[in-house]
Structure 1
Amino acid sequence: MFGEKKLGFGMMRLPLFDGEDQKSIDYEQVNQMVDTFMERGFTYFDTAYMYHNFISERVLKSAVVERHPRESFTVATKLPISHLKKAEDMERIFNEQLEKTGAGYFDYYLLHSLNAEYYKTVEEFDAFGFVKKKQAEGKIKHIGFSFHDSAELLEEILSAHPETEFVQLQLNYLDWDSESIQSGKCYETAVRHHKPVIVMEPVKGGTLAKVPETVEKMFKGENPEMSVASWAVRFAASHEHVGMVLSGMSNMEQLLDNTEFMQDFKPLTEKESTIVEQAVKIINGSVTIPCTGCRYCVDGCPNHIAIPEYFSLYNAAKQGNDMAGSEYAKLTEENGKASDCISCRKCERICPQHLEITGWPKDVAKEFE
């Protein structure tokens, strides 16, 4: 279904001129990255309605659709269940996405970020019926959904909706045995239902590209030429029923690295798998807040707190970064402080990692304020 090469270009973490402004896209670098990606034989581009403060789909249009023949690439985007207030919103948003991308049709179209709460909305508005109708009209080739919940709920959804052609799951070596993310259990559920898997967050928002020094030495000792991040991407791609691994590449360096080792992909060896198991134990003991920086929590925060940035700086401080405090002070000039959190829990209801977010700002404030 997905083609021979297993690497997809995730347009969620594009290169920026200003790290605090999600719209400050470095279009020239994006164009160069897209061209290199396609020159190396990769064709899959993944975007979504909300990415980069609602402009990622337009970036796809300018960098890919308007610069390359339509048959030379595939486009995946998503229906934002969180933005549906009435059934009519689906048609409006879908038409807006066709206009923003200029793609004419979507090769892959997903119901975005299903969990227990959003699945109720999906059923209430018959979102599966809507995407099936668009598929019949020739505007969607393949329908699926991205998922952030328990294997039990995934079993329920796939049993109720066998029309699903694929599932997009968060899958990485750190979350494989996690009881909150349940990467392994969800993967096995999809396999039982004969649904191919697209992987998101293989590097866990960059966490698995910046591992403790002990882990890095283990990886480099086994293969000095392979990047730290490559171990995470290869772990995900090594699973038999994974058809595509998405990587949110933020610069040309990351793209060159990913496309190099995925061009002639080789699954992890038994020895490499054992090293990864050892790495998991070490990393689990070093990460204080397991936030991936997806930013889903930011838009709804009433006090405009830069939640993922603060969590990243807190982790850095705990690992000995002396500059984290000054970076925090700089961020608070244009964002709410961690101590401004009112524990409304809006962030927790949308967090794909199911983190108890509102407990952490107090610790962040204690560290930096």
Structure 2
Amino acid sequence: MKNTYLGKEIPKLGFGLMRLPMIGDEVDIEQVKHMADIFVENGFTYFDTAYPYINGKSEEAVKEALIGRFPRESIQIASKMPVWLCNKPEDFNPLLEVQLKRTGAEYFDFYLLHALDRNRMEQMDKIGGWDFVKRAKEEGLIRHFGFSFHDKADVLDQILISHPEAEFVQLQLNYADWENSDVQSGKCYEIARKHNTPIIVMEPVKGGNLANMPGEAGRIFKSKEPGKSVASWAMRYAGSLEGIITVLSGMSDLDQMQDNIDTMKDFSQLSEEEYATIEQVVDVLAKADTVPCTSCKYCVDGCPQKINIPEVLGSLNTYRTYKDLKAVKGHYNWVTANSGKASDCIACGYCEEQCPQHIAIIDALQEVAGVFG
């Protein structure tokens, strides 16, 4: 990677707008405004949204919380083309028009073909997805284009060989997935570096799983740095990588934001001793029996039984960790009160096709049904 690259000057904490604070089914826009104010006041500038986040309400929050409240050139706004809704070349422009109208952004600083894998890569090549983003850039509707990625390293290599015009890639990078044979964080990182492609980091705390770690893993971190949060280790791990544009964090409350700002504002690279501490934790996590769901919710909208899969799998993980059936069953009944239960699964396979973590969701739901009914 060259010493100077796209996004090198961007502060290394990005505000991910996937998991915003909510009041019922609506975004708590006043809290989002307050969080955005604090974020910008501390020198951070990158905001990340996408077409499907919170059923479009995330992009709408951009318009209310950002546009007109900050000089447009002082912040970067990123969004993503929902490629799974595109079956022909004519499908792209109307979707981008909706996104620009929702956000009021006039243009996107960073625009991504969303969640490419092998199948979607082939579909984009077939219907001209890359031609579309190049035209959008020429027309001034986007400043830079790239893609987010959910597949194996060999597929990433193939995309970057075929499309050297991609200006950046968004990858899931965290210490827990670095050697994971399904996610392949480490291998994907090395592929991006080989191609000199700048990287936006997503899921640095793995959907919160690396922020709340009871038991031995959490105790290891606290014994080394009692005053630092567990999440701060994951954020610094991602921020210590080379060739990074920014590290996205889906902050859903002020406490999470303040912790991230405390960690990333006066950033310090991990030391060799700190890397060794993380390796201890990785060894512990490798022995843990939990489902690696990040609550991205890509599996939810198309589920014919309306099962809130991340919440259901979260109940299973809590049970596996604490073995308190009565307490966890109460929570499970609550989260499934207005949606499908695990026992409603018809094993259609939609969820597993969408899952970026490649989880055997059907098997997990069967286990949940056996435990909670």
What interval of TM-score do these two structures reach, taking the shorter chain for normalisation?
over 0.9
Aligned-residue Cα RMSD (Å) equals: 1.1
Name the SS of the counterpart of 1:55 in structure 2.
Answer: helix
1:12 lines up with 2:18 in the alignment? yes
Residue 80 (structure 1) aligned to one of 79, 82, 101: 82
SS state at 2:252 partner: coil
How far apart in 2 are the matches of 1:27 and 1:332? 26
Which SS does the other structure have where 1:154 is aligned? helix
1:364 matches 2:362? no
With normalisation by structure 2, the TM-score equals 0.96
Partner of 1:124: 126
* Cα displacement string for residues 142-192 of structure 1 (whole angstroms, at most 9, x for unaligned residues): 110000001101111000001001110000000000110000000000000
Q: What is the TM-score normalised by the length of structure 1?
A: 0.97
SS at match of 1:319: helix
Counterpart code for 1:64: L
Aligned 8 A contact 2:235 2:263 in 1: no
Q: Which residue of 1 aligns with 2:3?
A: none
For residue 288 of structure 1, give the secondary structure of its aligned residue in structure 2: coil
Identity, % of aligned pairs?
A: 49
3-state DSSP of counterpart to 2:27: coil
Picking from 63, 86, 95, the partner of 1:61 is 63
CA deviation map 1:209-231 (0-9, x unaligned) = 11132122211221122110010
Equivalent residue for 1:158?
160
Shift of 1:356: 1.5
Q: Hey, what's the Cα distance between the residues in 2 that align with 1:364 and 1:238?
A: 38
Pairwise CA distance, 1:284: 2.4
Aligned to 2:173: 171
Counterpart for residue 249 of structure 1: 251
Q: Could you tell me how far apart the structure 2 residues matched to 1:248 and 1:46 are?
A: 9
Q: Secondary structure at the match of 2:209?
A: helix
Tell me the CA shift for residue 4 of structure 1: 4.2
Q: CA deviation at 1:314?
A: 0.8
Distance, in Å, in 2 between the alignment partners of 1:55 and 1:181 is 28
Q: Which stretch of the first structure deviates more once superposed, 41-50 or 285-294?
A: 285-294
| Structure 1 residues 333-368: Cα deviation after superposition (integer angstroms, max 9, x where no partner) | 211110111111001111111111111111001111
The Cα of 1:137 is off from its aligned counterpart by 1.2
Does structure 1 conserve the Cα–Cα contact (< 8 Å) formed by 2:10 and 2:46? no
Counterparts of 1:366 and 1:281 in 2: how far apart (Å)? 30
Instruction: Give the letter aligned to residue 345 of structure 1.
Output: G
Please list every run of 5 or more consecutive structure 1 residues that lacks an aligned counterpart in the other structure. Answer: none
Q: Who is 1:317 aligned against?
A: 319
Q: What is the rounded CA distance, in whole Å, between the counterparts of 2:244 and 2:189 in structure 1?
A: 9
Q: Aligned to 2:363, what secondary structure does the other structure show? A: helix
